[in-house]
Amino acid sequence: MKKLKEIIFRLENRLLQPDVRKSVIQLNEMISEDFIEIGSSGQIYTKKNVLKNLPSSPKIKFIVTDFRIVILSPNIIQSIFKTEKINQVTNKTTFSLRSSIWKNEDSKWRMIFHQGTPL
């Protein structure tokens, strides 16, 4: 379990890095084709939406805390964590509780679901 937690933690942190968030190629590799996100507004986003909109979003710095995982099956992992999100343009800071579901597809972990709830 410790090794899986480290793998998923690294993947979550990688997705929060500005250079990855700006890269359609890297996002495409990390997000499953059937990806769904429920945004903080309640709007539902697909992989197509993310690849179209995320690379043009403002530069954000994330700090991850309280990270844990739940093994749902041998190939499905849920991560649960908090973030401090700092907009690098406006310096506005917000906090959220986040959850992702990762699926091992062809020996590669890809995110299939994500939800962030403002705190």
- Give the span between the Cα atoms of 25 and 75, in whole angstroms: 24
Cα–Cα distance, 47 to 23 (Å, whole number): 13
pLDDT given at position 41 = 85
Query: Over the stretch 24-61, which tens digit does the pLDDT of each residue have?
Result: 999 999 999 999 999 888 899 999 999 998 888 888 99
The residue to which tokens 């990762």 are assigned: 102
CB 97 within 8 A of CB 79: no
- Computed over every residue of the chain, the mean pLDDT equals 94
User: For the chain, how many structural domains are there in total?
Assistant: 1
Q: Which two tokens stand for residue 115?
A: 């939800």
Count of other CB atoms within 10 angstroms of residue 57: 12
Q: Can you give the CATH number for the domain in which 9 is found?
A: 3.10.450.50
Range of the domain at 36: 2-118
Interval 12-30 mean pLDDT: 94
